[in-house]
Structure 1
Amino acid sequence: MEYQEDYVDVKRPRDGDDLYHPKQYSSDQAQSSNYQQISPETTNSVLSTAPLSKIKSSTSADRRMSVGMGQPGGYTGMAQVAQSQGPRGDEAVPVGFDEAVLRGLCDMDCSLSLLADRIKQGIVSCKQVATFFRSRADVEEKYSRSLTELYRSTGDVYARGDCKAGTFVQAYNSGLRLQDQLAQNRLRFAQRLNEMAEELFSLAREGEKTRKIHKETGSRYQLIIQDAETAVEKAKTRLDGIVEELDRVLAAKEGETYKDTRGGYNTVGGPAYGNNGSAPSASAPSGHGKSKLGKAMKTGGLLFKGKGSGSLQKQEDDSRAKMDHANETFTKAVAESKQLRKEYFSFQLPKIMRLLKECADEIDLGTQYHLTRFAFLYETMTVGDGAVLNPLGNPEEGPGLKAIFESIDNRTDFKSYMQNYAVIRGTPRGPRREGPYDDGFQMPLPPHVQRSQDSTFSASQSSAHTSPQPQALPSPHSQASGYGYQTSPQPPSTSQMQSSAPPLHPSGPSHSYNPSIGSTITTQTNNTVPTNSSITQNQGGSGETTSLTSYQQDYMAPGIPASTGHTFGVDLGEQLARDGTAVPRIVEKCAAAIEMYGLESTGVYRLSGTSSRVQALKAALDNDVNAVDVESDEWSADINVVCGALKLWFRELPEPLLTHGLYHSFIEAARYENDRLRHIRLHEQVNELPDPNYATLKFFMAHLDKIRRHESVNQMSVSNLSIVFGPTLLGAPPEEGGLNLEHMSFQCKAIETILNKYQEIFVEEDDDGGR
């Protein structure tokens, strides 16, 4: 491609020439969202935002003055316009910018309108893509929120319903949490789409602004050139008119000298005037001057008729002066127009084309970048959903949805349901497989009591064969025969369980077996309870038989003095005020015994002791709690009896330990799905408890914390303990019937959270100088 000799190839606008900041889109700018529009620092009228119609309606002089053309040296004014278009950034030219395309645009007459229309198309496309992103974001956001609402409502409905527990509910809740993770992924995707839509709309607005500025700037330059060309035409028209007038004057003056007129030498345009003073051209058609003279004679011959030669000479001089001035004006207009055209096509037009082309490239690349980014985010979201559903063996991310549901152990769930059913439902009505203790049903002794009884029994057998002397009194902790327990499952005729008693006669007690009755006959000590069989005692060599009925009339539970105040069914605050203690004595004594003998007992607190033994221990504790040694073999032989008595004490409180007044507050706090928030709300409610209730709860939670630390042995996890004590410690108010099945799961959840957060709620608070 060849260019004119005076063509100026402008590779880039000079500093301060462009208004648009090009951006480079690459993978290392994935979060690019700032598109800066640099405003011009000057207020030259060429850069004003006035409508084009108003620009066209302005006068030519105003337009010329706006760019400095009203003064000599219009090029300087054009340069000032170019320098007034604001600073340019220092960014390098994008790699994809095509200089050959720019040169091709500069050679086209319609390049300005071509690029303006192309930018308009890019803006419309950009807006369409942004609208798609925003609509897709709305769809994803609605889907995410609907999925989250479904997750929460489904979890709440399941928690309130009479549904399965155990591994099933754990897997079900884990599956629902995965649904919540999917919803969060969708929500983040929607947020990114909204950001991208805003960026594209911003890009379109800046493109429209840049297109308008540079299009108006190009239109102004074109109007300036058009004004210059109009000025040239006007100067030429005026010059032609003056030439015709001079021709008429010369025709009138030289009319009689026809040969000169016919030769055209003295006429305007002839050798003397219009042919640079040279001789007539040989190629000029003969008769040229004659035709001009003839025309002048026809049109203006009568105008000069009757005038003298002096007047014609004056008119000729005036016409020549006017012609010289018009010729000078015309020459100047032609030169100025040529200079403006040269500057426009060599400098201003390439600069404007470059700016508009960069604007078009910016819109095209920005739109393409965001489409590529949309594809990347879409792929990332899809892969993220797949990783949530199936982590592909990554242990840190947890099991997948399929693995979670495959982990449901229906057999274990049913066994746990069997074990907890009686505890949750209470003592069932109807016939029971085990009879009452007083009818002769005997529980097997714990191992430590069996070993003690075996040693005592062996010593008694050896003494009986060697000496008729009375047996020595064993220690109180080794006596358990008063319960009627057997040391072995053999018949009583082959193995007898004996115990010693304080001698009633110097000869000592006698131990015998009555085959007709088939039961052991023993003397009673202060730590024994008589059996239903008759009791025979020999005193002073004479036997005397005493019936069980007469014995029971005179019998008093061993170790119980006169009543000092009831323990069961008494208000907690009254008990503490009466006894002068911070924690009820029954709770202290029972907890100590359970911690001594029951930490490794399977199903402690979950399994129920014999009802008659529980009632006996209750009666003893209710009569005088200080006189009962709960840690003795009498009661600790079956640690479930002590657990049953302690649970019975909590159930018979006039008001549950967590009080009726705070019941609904505890339930609402337990409803929170977020563990941290539920812990905080329950901690607040615990702090609202009265002082007696708070101290008792703190002591009892410390006790249960020791129980659950031996979960591997006693099988009593936090969940199992909360099932046992949830409805007991957090009972429903009387107006709700005392039992609210709908709230049972939240009662257990509240106790489970308090026990799990025992250290944070009670221990750390005391360390920090709390309550």
Structure 2
Amino acid sequence: MATATSSADLLNEDKVKSILASDSSFGILSQRLKQSIKACDEFASFIARKCHSEQRYSKDVLRTVNHCDHSITSNNIVVQGTFIQNLQKVIKFDEKINSVRDPYISALQNMANQLESLVQHFTNIRKQLKEKGNKAEREVSDSINMAKKARNRYWNLCTELEKVRGSDKNQTKITLQGRKTYSQQEEDLKAKIKDAEDDYNKKANSSQRLKNNLVKTIRPNIADEFKNLIIELDYAMQIQLQKYSIYTESLIVGMGNQVNPINGSDSMKKIATSSDLEKCLYFYLKGSTVKTNEALQPVEFIRHPIVGGILPKSTPKPPNSANSSRMNNINNNNNNKRDMSIASKSTVGGAAAAGMVAGGLISSTVSSPNGSVNSNKQSQNILSMNTNNKLPQIPSLGSTDSLPPVPVPPSYTSLDPSSSPKLSGPRPLNLEGNDSTLSFTDNSIKFNSDISTNNILNNGKLFGTPLELLDANDEAVPLFVIKCIQIIETFGSNTEGIYRLSPNKISLEELIIQIDNDPHNLSLLDPKDPTNVSSEYIYIIASLLKKFFALLPEPLLTNEQREAYLQAAELHDPIERQTKIHQLVFELPDSNYFTLRDILGHFRHLIEFPKVRMDSKNISIVWANNLIGGNFESREELEIQQRVIEDLIAFAPSIFTYDDI
């Protein structure tokens, strides 16, 4: 009964051994190892690109989640159990999923580094083995060539002796040593043949010995090393491939556990389907302010006293009995239809909201007992509703404290257990008067925040206005900041000392007044002649931008985080310092976050302009107080403040996503 042949035994077949012992073995094995190295290199490149793609996607998702969450909290009042609250919770699931994706990204980065190390290591060993084998083969080849030359010399001398013996024995030969007889010639050739034969024999034996050593010792050893390297590299790649499959499976399972937790917490689907839409509308209506529209108040006829005794009062004509009966029937039919409509709405769902609103209308539109409709009374009853009228009380739904807490996702630090700080995204900005904890019974709440924002900006100025109230792009960066940066980078690349040198004070103050008078007209910043922009004009725009940040009601890095930034700048470990600053930046409001991104990118562009002659230290000196604020008097405090800006400039590419940095 034949036994199954193992994979390792296959390499011991006679045919395989003959291939490994052949003169082509080095080339065959070297080429095979090269293929494995190339495959490892391609695998490393794939993992690195996948890691970069996951990092970029994670940042984009986090940015989108925080931007949407900020918009929800800024433009809506979040109430327990409403669609708005559930929308906010569902969106936050992507942030939870990112907590699983972050260790996956770290694992991919480690894999890419390990694969790249394998490629470098095995490439070096392959070169060494190939050189070793080629050297041994060259020695044998050179020895054989020398033996061939000795053999040719030996055979030539023997041929010459044969010619001498076949010639006339009485003939003499003229040489450099004089005339030689036949016997002398024969003796000389015999001596040379003897030496040539010894040399030929020696070199032939040497070449044979070297060839035997190559075939029996050197070649098998190198072939075994090649085989071991190929199998070792392929095993290493197989292990990395298994790790990649495990990491990917863990990512998918982790994401699924976040979307539908196995610990009994609310799933995304459960939250998405749990909105009480009627209740949401009810709370909105109950919290709204009812106002009387004076334009809809009818005019009551009042006879002037002066004509009271002059003009006779008009007597209304009695209605025709037939017409009166027909009108009563029409009114009764209309009232019946209205009652049926209201009842239908209550049945479909909306009994609380629709019934309350319709109930007030029914009381003022029903017909009189005699079957006629009093139009004046009807209008007066409807229009007499004012803010003092109270809607019926609705039973309390209970406080949010009685609800089960939102489950905290498990802490995934890495697929291979280690520790790493978890960074949160840019936090939403809480505007005054938009507290999500306000009661819906407060009639002072304003739901249209855009109108109040526009009024504030139209009645105010550009300088000294909060960032969130200014004209901005889709990422909440003020258009004024974008405009100034564009002008400086377009026309100031050859201007030395931007932000360091001061412009003409009168010209600067005049431009400030013009912009404050018309904050929406940013064309005031454009140079009069774009083909001939002076350095003085660049200094004015640069000073204008610094003044804008200096006059903000709150510094760009916020008063709340100032001390945290200063403490982070004092950390000695650069990685720890970068991580802390990265975390603080992610906690900024959206407008501050994206504005900081653009201003730091602008600083890095200026550093790259050689004629500007401004490095990160120069920029931090002139900008630190404008971005951080606070009162710093000692030299040590000022240095720490400047170090914060230097670190932000240095860490910007790793914190933000830039297209051109």
TM-score, normalised via structure 1 length: 0.35
Taking CA–CA contacts closer than 8 Å with sequence separation of 6 or more, which of the two structures ends up with the larger relative contact order?
2
Which structure has the greater CA radius of gyration? 1
Between structures 1 and 2, the one with greater helix share: 2
TM-score, normalised via structure 2 length: 0.41
